[in-house]
Chain A
Amino acid sequence: QVQLVQSGAEVKKPGASVKISCKASGYTFSHYAVHWMRQAPGQRLEWMGWINVGNANTKYSQKFQGRVTITRDTSASTAYMEVSSLRSEDTAVYYCARTVWYWFDYWGQGTLVTVSS
């Protein structure tokens, strides 16, 4: 069965970086794109960016351009998202999700990132 398994919760200080992984199984990794979203407490979901797993092309929300980097390792069937220059407002649950087009049919379980001094 299709699964996306994300890395565990992180606690970071302001100004630090965090890198979250998303390991895929149960399907051909290179045939689907991977997107990243986040959900701050009590807030709506916010789309951050995506990677075409086949050719590694990426696209980011303008809000996160320059601060977010999405990569993938096809040999490990894993996608990654790194967020730099963390601030308290980045405290959120971060999700990866799979797409064929631009709706999300399978999601990771979420990774809580807490930014606190």
Chain B
Amino acid sequence: DTVMTQSPATLSVSPGERASLSCWASQSVNSDLAWYQQNPGQAPRLLIYAASTRATGIPARFSGSGSGTEFTLTISSLQSEDFAVYYCQQYNNWPLTFGQGTKVEIK
């Protein structure tokens, strides 16, 4: 299986600051990577697919980059609603796999 590893586990950021979240794959996934945001008690919400394409309705402050085995999700200026857990997911190899998540908390 392709193991997805996210770093850091927790990121403490002040509102208005920039946040960068990392995701590594144990083998190449090309650009077949998605990012999701999850709030407590809710289902995940798609942010990014194909490594860098924003999903419908996602604000421009969210951006994704990377290919192969290294990926980054950047939130340019954190808003109050952005404090949540973020997951990466690869869909290049079966089975589809997710990272363990990065919690973005208020500093």
Listed in ascending order, the chain A residues whose CB lies under 8 Å from chain B are: 35, 37, 43-47, 59, 61-63, 95, 97, 101-105, 107-110
Do residues A103 and B43 form an inter-chain contact, with CB atoms below 8 A?
no
What chain B residues lie within 8 Å of A95 (beta carbons)?
43-44
Min distance, Cβ A9 to any Cβ of chain B, angstroms: 13
Instruction: Beyond A103-B50, A104-B46, A107-B45, list 6 extra A-B contacts (CB 8 Å).
Output: A44-B87, A44-B98, A103-B49, A104-B36, A107-B44, A109-B43
Do residues A47 and B55 form an inter-chain contact, with CB atoms below 8 A?
no
Chain B interface SS verdict (over half): loop
Q: In which size bucket is the chain B interface?
A: 20 to 34
Name the segment of B11-19, B70-78, B88-96 touching the other chain. B88-96
Do residues A103 and B89 form an inter-chain contact, with CB atoms below 8 A?
yes
Do residues A45 and B55 form an inter-chain contact, with CB atoms below 8 A?
no
Binary CB contact string for chain B from 65 to 84 against chain A (1 if under 8 A, 0 otherwise)? 00000000000000000000
A107 to B42, CA, bound (A): 10
What chain B residues lie within 8 Å of A45 (beta carbons)?
44, 87, 89, 98
Closest to A100 in B: B49
What chain B residues lie within 8 Å of A109 (beta carbons)?
42-43
A75 to B95, CA, bound (A): 29
What chain A residues lie within 8 Å of B42 (beta carbons)?
109
Binary CB contact string for chain B from 26 to 39 against chain A (1 if under 8 A, 0 otherwise)? 00000010101000
A75 to B99, CA, bound (A): 36
Do residues B95 and A62 form an inter-chain contact, with CB atoms below 8 A?
yes
A63 to B56, CA, bound (A): 33
A45 to B91, CA, bound (A): 14
Nearest 6 Cβ contacts at the A-B interface: A102-B91, A107-B43, A103-B34, A103-B49, A47-B96, A45-B98
What chain B residues lie within 8 Å of A47 (beta carbons)?
95-98
What chain B residues lie within 8 Å of A61 (beta carbons)?
94-95
